Amino acid sequence: MKVVQKLCLWLALPALVAGIQRLIVPSAAAIVVWATPVYAGPCSNEIDRTQIRINAKLGAMARTGSSAPQSSGAGLHHQPTPGSVAAAESKLGELSPATVDATKAAMARAREADRAGDQSACEQALAEAHRLIGP
């Protein structure tokens, strides 16, 4: 019986080795991607802080403002995005659509300037976003 087991092992060994070889390349690629440093622009941290501030402002406005009927999308078990909250609040008159659009545009300019490494343009766009959302 042991001879048969050894024979089966020797017959299965090439398939096992081939399977291991197939896993080496994807595993090595995954390690390289994981180990590659992520580039952060000159004002990435400030963009994150401003986005958090915008989200907090929208959240506070949603908690203290007037309410509206539930939308049909609310029953789909999706979390609302800051943009959808802002759009709903603009419909209630708490934020004008122009302010919502201008804030989105300012944040998009800040992100683009950050990707380009232009700290001055990034800071100007963030200052505009701060001005639009208020204190």
Residues 50-86 have pLDDT tens digits of 998 888 887 777 677 666 666 666 676 677 777 776 6
* Predicted confidence (pLDDT) at residue 125 exceeds the cutoff of 80: yes
Q: What is the pLDDT of residue 67?
A: 63
Q: Across residues 19-44, what is the average pLDDT?
A: 65
Buried b (16+ CB within 10 A) or exposed e, 26-39: eeeeeeeeeeeeee
Q: What is the pLDDT of residue 114?
A: 93
